[in-house]
């Protein structure tokens, strides 16, 4: 795997059941596959809290910024019926264990 430039973590509670969440994921997944610079996205659930998360690996800050300003990003709360706004954390990648 090539070293990503940025890692984005988006985490939220949803009013939807896990089955409904997976339907939303399946409906939207092709839109994410088309994003420039999105190397990988992990769809996650925290077992202890039931919170849902997306972990994104970005090739460049420019592609990440374009996503941040997109309707796709802005639609997360509505699509997943979140409780409040999703928490968003952005990290610079310093080094990979395996290159």
Q: Residue 29's domain is classified under what CATH number?
A: 3.30.70.100
- Domain membership flag for residue 22: yes
Q: What is the pLDDT of residues 5-17, one digit of tens each?
A: 999 999 999 999 9
Could you list the residue range(s) of the whole structural domain that residue 86 is in? 6-92
Q: Which of 29, 26, 11, 18 is nearest to 82 (CA)?
A: 11
Residue 82 vs residues 2, 13, 36, 64, 75: alpha-carbon distances, Å: 33, 5, 26, 22, 11
C-alpha 30/C-alpha 14 separation (Å) is: 21
The count of domains in the chain is 1
Residues 33-86: tens digit of each pLDDT = 999 999 999 999 999 999 999 999 999 999 999 999 999 999 999 999 999 999
Please indicate, yes or no, if residue 60 is contained in any of the structural domains. yes
- pTM of the entire predicted model: 0.91
| Residue 1, in any domain of the structure | no
H helix runs in the chain, sequence order:
18-33, 61-68, 71-74, 76-79
């Amino acid at each position: 795997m090539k070293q990503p430039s940025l890692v984005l973590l988006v985490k939220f509670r949803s009013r939807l059941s896990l089955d409904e969440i997976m339907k939303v994921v399946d409906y939207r997944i092709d839109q994410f596959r088309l994003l420039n610079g999105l190397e990988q996205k992990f769809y996650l659930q925290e077992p202890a809290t039931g919170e849902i998360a997306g972990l994104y690996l970005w090739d460049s800050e420019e592609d990440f910024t374009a996503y941040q300003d997109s309707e796709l990003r802005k639609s997360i709360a509505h699509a997943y019926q979140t409780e409040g706004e999703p928490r968003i954390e952005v990290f610079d990648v310093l080094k990979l264990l395996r290159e």
